[in-house]
Structure 1
Amino acid sequence: MQPKPQSPDEQAPDEQAPVTHWALVALAMAMLLSSLGISIPNVALPTLADAFRTGLPQVQWVVLAYLLAITVLIVSAGRLGDIAGHRRVLCWGLAGFALASTLCAMAPTLPALVAARALQGAAGSILMGLTVALVRTSVSKERTGSAMGLLGTMSAIGTAAGPTLGGLLISGLGWRAIFAVMAPLALAGLVLAQRCLPADAQRGRVDHRAFDKPGTLVLALTLAAYALAVTAGNGAFHRRNLILLALVALGLALFVLIERRSPAPLVRLSAFRDPALNAALAMSALVSTVMMTTLVVGPFYLSRVLGHPAAVVGLVMSVGPAISALSGVPAGRLVDRFGANAVVIWGLAQMAVGAFALAGLPNMLGTAGYVLALAVLTPGYQLFQAANNTAVMMEVPQDRRGVISGVLSLARNLGLITGASAMGAVFTLASGSANPATAGTASVAHGMAVTFALAGGLALLGLVIALSGGAFNLERSGNTPPRRGGNS
């Protein structure tokens, strides 16, 4: 394998060292906003139900519209960045996020609010997809791991701070304030991005012929069908779920056919012949499923078995994101020091230990056992995320970074959606009750143990993939120079 000469965009970060700090601030703010958009409205659902005089199933679309828009559009957002320029499209995303946040705050009806949230999710897909893609042109190669760790920290801060900030704003200013507050933050990020991020290689007008419109449409419809298939029915499986899954299979087959014939495909199918990329995507989906399990199962266990009131449940649930926020940057530094390959394995092993601990320690030690297990699981997740993102993005060419970053984020989001549905169904089945909220304490405790034992198994499966030989190699970790000749 011959070492590749550095392209101008790969040399740019070293030449732009004085602005690297502010470039990272701009990327961190974009990641913070995309996460805040997910977490901040959840606390407002009861208030919105009262304000619009409707039920919880209707106001839940305020959350679902955002998540579905991100999941459906994130790959297309990455591809658009590859074509039009990563900085330019990120600025479009920040401007769109500010506009959508304003529209949310002004929404006169629930349907208008849901539509504005879908627009906000479309902008959020750009923020989530392109921040990772811009890291390689914004920082030097040896600091990539630290930058990825910082983005993980900002994502965790957004997740942790959303409910608290939302609660304070609703108490003082009403529900519209939780959306209005994001508009000036997005505008501040826009100013920083325009001034501090490295210029795009692309100049002039965008060639719209380079954008795969048929492939984008088919993929968006397929992902929407999948998201609806795994969320419809609240864990129960009905005929409509089967119909939607059949449409997913048909959509995937049609997408592959379109991509093979497209002169400018949205996703180059040849990329999936790379075992390292396939392994990274599979592990990302598995890990996201495990982490979603803590959000799905945790509240039932803490309230039903341990008897905590809602305020204490929220406090204990915030421990995970808080630990994640504190461990993100150190995780990135470990990647820079030891290499992505070693840290991926370390993180997955730690996650497996943490998941199995959640299956047993809370039933033995109560709240202390729950927090202790989270303190093992969450830093393992941050280690994996920083290392996995670094390993994937290190050697991706400039003109494919956006779409590969989008595919990586898509795998994570699909894992979150699948985890919310599948692991919730496992917990319901294991607890022996159609409604875990009213099940007995022994049933909920048993459901908790079974569900997290399965989550530990998923983490071990990820570890097996990492150790299988094709997942990563030291060359792709960016910490060992490529060897000449021979098999890697």
Structure 2
Amino acid sequence: MVALLSACVAFQLNASMLSPALVTMQQELHTDAAAIGLTQTAFFTAAALFSLFLPRLGDIIGRKKVLSGMLILMTLGCVLAALAPNVEVLFIARIVQGVSGPVVPLCLIMLRVEVTDPKTYGTLMGVITSVNGGIAGVDALAGGFLAENYGFAAVFWTMAVIAAIASLLLILLARETTAGDDTKMDWLGVLPLVISVGALLIALDEAGKLGAANWLLVIILLLVTAIAFALFWRAENHSSHPLVATPLLRRRATWALLLTTLLTMTGVFAVMNALIPALAQDHQVGFGMGAGVSAFWTLTPYALAGLVMGPLAGRLASSFGYTRILRFGMIGSVIVLGLMMITVETDARWLLLLTSILLGLSYAGTGNIMLNGLGIVLSPQENPGFLPGLNAGAFNLGAGLSFAVIIGAQTAVGAGAAGYYAGLIAGLVLLLLALAASFLIPRPVDAEVGHQAARDGGAAQRRVR
């Protein structure tokens, strides 16, 4: 747990510690906000793409080996970013850091191998995954402090030190595991899949620019996505060692989970990471807070609530069912988005704080935990890394699509209260669709206490006979 938690913390810092330092990076590198934003896009796109195949590579050559390599590359990427003399070098450094994309899925797979008791696994899974929602907001606060007082390089040096420590702890404390099958990596399947998802992510990012978007480029990228995915499907049908066997893609456990993850992330991500902070800082229909103060009232309590709730949600899932706890979290998220509409055009800061905490409990600490966990417990034994990898890709796709849809709805309606209402309504509709899709996810009975007790009892009776 020390090794796995340190790895997850190191990855999370790469994802969230830079948010308050973006303006400082822009100033010190003498560039504009668009260029800095592109480096962020590069990191999350790379993270999504490497998530598609590195978990499977870990199944084949060793998960500890792959995870250690990812952490070492992350460390080197942090060092390169700290030394970056211009935004072009920073762009390359962020891509190198993006190799660490599937850290959380790989950690959960390694934990699953080590911990067979459903109650213990559920609790520890919640601990690990809750870190993925933000380290109680301390990561963002520390990033802002370091950037303001020591420059953006200090943020990357801090990341590099923590990533190096995590690499060392993993090498010393973790045990090597594989899926145990003697197979080869399907690199011919990896290439078209990466091209397909990469083109789709870039298309979504471009579409999110709305009026400033190059829509011809979006159409071309969507065509590339479709063609590359068709080639991937054909390659998998003809491969003797496919990255993802097409019958596995047809399973309800696969497509229903991926659909639910995609819809949930699209409905929530931009609401909490863009819409609500913007409302907190809006002087006309919001609360007129500064950027730092708004984080204390929104992002910090959201992350802290998720961190506290995560282990409890994981423990409850093993006893009451992963899908049942997921739906409780999603229903709670739907209710919270409805409450958030009341915060528009009010001066009730306590209500803003309350809704941030409640969304942290319902989504960051419950829904997000269950979606990550289901990717592990529903993955087939013959290919444990395939579903967690695809699910990580769905998380990243949803994050990109969320800005295009939620902020797009806000922008389409116009400035003022109407725009915030439109964004929240769009998120609410997407979450309702995600809730409906969640009823299609099969129950992972093997990961729940009642099934294991029945299985153990049946085995005991057979031994007596």
1:428-458 deviation digits (Å, cap 9, x = unpaired): 112x2xxxxxx3xxx2x22222221221222
In structure 1, list runs of 5 or more residues that go unmatched.
Answer: 1-23, 433-438
- Which residue of the other structure, out of 107, 121, 125, is the alignment partner of 1:131? 107
Counterpart of 1:303? 281
Q: How does 1:70-81 map to 2 (within 5 A)?
A: 70-81=47-58
1:90 pairs with one of 60, 67, 83: 67
Aligned to 1:261: 238
- For residue 216 of structure 1, the aligned residue among 190, 194, 197 is 190
Q: Which residue in 2 is equivalent to 1:151?
A: 128
1:471 to 418, 433, 441: 441
- Greater alpha carbon shift after TM alignment, 264-273 vs 234-243: 234-243
Q: Which residue of 2 aligns with 1:248?
A: 225
Aligned pairs (5 A) from 1:407-422: 407-422=390-405
Partner of 1:325: 307
Distance 2:83 2:129 in 1: 31
CA–CA separation in structure 1 for the residues paired with 2:447 and 2:327:
13
Q: Write the deviation string for residues 263-308 of structure 1: whole angstroms up to 9, x where unpaired.
A: 2212222112221232221111122122212212113222222222
Q: 2:311 matched to 1:335?
A: no
User: Can you list the C-alpha shifts for 1:406-432, whole angstroms capped at 9, x where unaligned?
Assistant: 1111111111111022211011112x2
- Using the size of structure 2 for normalisation, the TM-score is 0.89
Paired residues, number: 445
Matched, 1:429 2:412: yes
AA of the residue aligned to 1:460: L
Matched, 1:313 2:287: no
Residue equivalent to 1:3: none
Q: 1:460 to 1:452 in 2, by over 3 A?
A: same
Q: Does 1:115 align with 2:92?
A: yes
Pair 1:425–1:395, CA change in 2 (3 A)? closer
Q: How far is 1:178 from its partner?
A: 0.8
2: distance between equivalents of 1:247 and 1:202? 33
Shift in Å, 1:70: 0.5
| Letter of the structure 1 residue corresponding to residue 228 of structure 2 | G
Q: Deviation at 1:69?
A: 0.5
Contact 1:88 1:200 in 2 (8 A): no
The corresponding residue for 2:461 is: none
Secondary structure of 2:384 counterpart: helix
1:193/1:337 CA distance change after superposition, 3 Å: same
Query: CA 1:392–1:479 in 2, change beyond 3 Å: closer, same or farther?
Result: farther
Q: Does residue 52 in structure 1 map to residue 29 in structure 2?
A: yes
| Contact 2:63–2:178 under 8 Å retained in 1 | no
Are the equivalent residues in 2 in contact too, given 1:77–1:406 (CA < 8 A)?
A: yes
Residue correspondence of structure 1 range 31-70 to structure 2 within 5 A: 31-70=8-47
**Paired residue secondary structure (2:101):** helix
Shift of 1:395: 5.2
Q: What letter corresponds to residue 409 of structure 2 in structure 1?
A: V
Q: Would the alpha carbon gap of residues 395 and 465 (structure 1) be closer, same or farther in structure 2, given more than 3 Å must change?
A: closer
- 1:36–1:159 contact (8 Å) kept in structure 2: no
Q: Which residue of 1 aligns with 2:349?
A: 367
Of all paired residues, the percent bearing the same amino acid is 24
Q: Are the structure 2 counterparts of residues 365 and 52 from structure 1 closer, same or farther at C-alpha, using a change threshold of 3 Å? A: closer
Q: Return the alpha-carbon distance in structure 1 between the equivalents of residues 162 and 70 of structure 2.
A: 13
Q: In the alignment, residue 347 of structure 1 is paired with which amino acid?
A: G
Match of 2:203 in 1: 229
Superimposed CA distance per residue, residues 75-100 of structure 1 (whole angstroms, 9 cap, x where no aligned partner): 11111111111111111111111121
Q: Report if the CA contact (8 A) 1:39-1:159 is conserved.
A: no
Give the superposed CA RMSD: 2.4
Where 2:450 maps in the other structure, the secondary structure is coil
Amino acid at match of 1:274: R
Q: 1 CA distance for matches of 2:197 and 2:385?
A: 18
Aligned counterpart, 2:459: none
